[in-house]
Amino acid sequence: MTQDFVVGLARHAIELTLLISLPMLGLGLLVGLLVSIFQAVTQIQEMTLTFVPKIVAVLLGLLISFPWLMHKLIDFTHDLISQIPVIIR
């Protein structure tokens, strides 16, 4: 196992983590922005109004994108397991 292999594996893992978290973080950001605009327009300053829609949006995004997320994670795990003979040498 070389230093380049370890750095490449870490880079791939970080890229996969960012790619997987992007849909939920984007939805949370978008819904948070919309709720903030709604609060500014209506002058409603309720704290639960900011959290509940974001949580619901993130959960819905997770449910919708779950098959794609699992496919990406399974591919990464399969590639990692198939490289075990290379890592041992």
3-state SS track over the chain: CCHHHHHHHHHHHHHHHHHHHHHHHHHHHHHHHHHHHHHHHHCCCCCHHHHHHHHHHHHHHHHHHHHHHHHHHHHHHHHHHHCHHHHHC
Domain limits for position 80? 3-86
The total domain count for the chain is 1
**pLDDT tens-digit map of 9-67:** 999 999 999 999 999 999 999 999 999 999 889 888 888 888 899 999 999 999 999 99
pLDDT tens for residues 52-66?
A: 999 999 999 999 999
> Measured between alpha carbons, how far is 42 from 21 in angstroms, rounded to an integer?
32
